[in-house]
Amino acid sequence: MTWRLAWRNLAHERVRLLMTLAGVAFCVALMGSQTAILIGCIRAAAELVDHAGADLWVTSKNTRAVDFPVEIDETHRYRVLAASGVASADALIVRYTFWRRPDGGNEVVTIVGFDVATGVGGPWNLVAGSVSALRLPDTVIIDRLYAERLGVRALGDVFDVGGRRARVVGFTQGILTFTQAPYVFTSRENALQYSRFQEGLTTYVLVRARGDADASAVARGLRAELSHLDTVSTRRFSVRTSYYWLVETGVGIALIVGVVLSLIVGTIIVSQTLYTTTLERLPEYATLRALGAPTGYLNAIVIQQAVMGAVLGYGAGVLIIIGLLVAARGTHLPIAAPWWLWVDLAALTLVMCVGASIVAVRRVLRVDPTSVFR
């Protein structure tokens, strides 16, 4: 009966109910979209690291993000290969260069030069063409999301990249970059040309540990062997990269502040509505109290109103987020909504609404049953 009473109390004032639900939905949509963008940014920022297929990354000292590479001597790769527990060591070149569009304009791109033979550090989500085509000189693979921006219409189109010819031999789908300088995958040999990189240099050495070796022990050995370089696990390098972009640049902080502000605004809206509704219904709560209802019964009515507001507002908010996700599909906006985002958002909405009911609950706790006689 408390659920029925709670719902009737909520639905009795339709305009107020709609305003409450709009408030909760807006708050959910804002929190959800901000968090989805945050997750998208985190993923985009470290995507190259996460998909490289390495256990360890050997980088120059204090490399803060994969997008800020500093060259190291490629001969270190041989020292790595000689280390205990190492199965393979591949050089990876990450450099910025210019891509000349057919209209004459330039775009900054991120050249990713990897060893085509092993595929370590190479593209993923390939939807057209093949990686092996990169064995040919002057060939590149780009992501379809950036095709229009780069002026690419079809496989086989030829462009000027870093002053050299580049033919598109493959498309990936959905590889975003946080820097908005699209990844251009190519062979290590081509990368040296496109980025005018000096022969004998690289930016990273990607290490895979043997199956029977402990990756952290391998890392410790490499740190001892190459003390002037950094050796970090893929996970750590991924976190370091995300941390740089999201925390050190303040981008993530801004998004998190947005989420927190949404939460506060939502709490205030729900709190105010519930309190107003409760004040209006105080004589009814006093009647129930006079009739013998325990305070728990009265509190349940208020909290159940909050839960209903949370559920309905969440539903409406989710529809808004889904609309946003659909609209963002095919754009460069890094946005991702894994299943746990929906669950966490639901829990947060529930906590927000129930938390917002505390003020109303406190008022109900003080209700005077003798007021029914006034």
Partner 1 sequence: MIANPVMRHAPADPDHDVVVRLTRVSVTYGSGHTAVHALKDASAELRRGEVLIVNGPSGSGKSTFLQVMGALITPTSGDVWIRGRSIRDLSAEALSRLRLECLGFIFQGYNLLPTLTAWENIAVMLDLKGVRGREAERRSRALLETVGLSHRADAFPRQLSGGERQRTAIARALAADPAVILADEPTAAIDASAGRQIATLLAALAHDDRRAVLIVTHDARLRDFATRYLCLDDGRLIDDERAEDATGVAHAPA
Which residue ranges make up the site for partner 1 (CB under 8 A)? 1-2, 4-5, 8-9, 12, 283-284, 287-295, 297, 369-370, 372-373
- Shortest Å, Cβ 282 to partner 1: 12
Q: What are the structure tokens assigned to 320, written together?
A: 């808004």
**Residue whose CB is less far from partner 1, 148 or 368:** 368
**Residue whose CB is less far from partner 1, 154 or 291:** 291
d(CA 307, CA 94) in angstroms, rounded, equals 51
Q: Are strands 86-100 and 201-202 parallel, antiparallel or unpaired?
A: unpaired
**Residue whose CB is less far from partner 1, 284 or 344:** 284
- Shortest Å, Cβ 306 to partner 1: 17
d(CA 364, CA 172) in angstroms, rounded, equals 59
**Residue whose CB is less far from partner 1, 104 or 292:** 292
**Residue 129 near residue 101 (C-beta atoms within 8 A):** no
**Residue whose CB is less far from partner 1, 293 or 322:** 293
- Shortest Å, Cβ 305 to partner 1: 12
d(CA 360, CA 274) in angstroms, rounded, equals 6
**Residue whose CB is less far from partner 1, 5 or 201:** 5
d(CA 355, CA 309) in angstroms, rounded, equals 12
- Shortest Å, Cβ 2 to partner 1: 7
**Residue whose CB is less far from partner 1, 291 or 326:** 291
- Shortest Å, Cβ 272 to partner 1: 21
**Residue 133 near residue 170 (C-beta atoms within 8 A):** yes
**Residue whose CB is less far from partner 1, 209 or 298:** 298
227, 230, 367 from 81: Cα distances, Å: 16, 16, 76
- Shortest Å, Cβ 12 to partner 1: 5
- Shortest Å, Cβ 367 to partner 1: 10
**Residue whose CB is less far from partner 1, 12 or 329:** 12
d(CA 10, CA 305) in angstroms, rounded, equals 6
- Shortest Å, Cβ 285 to partner 1: 10
Q: Helices 358-365 and 339-356: crossing angle, nearest 10°?
A: 30
- Shortest Å, Cβ 36 to partner 1: 38
Burial class (CB in 10 A: 0-12, 13-18, 19+), 200: exposed
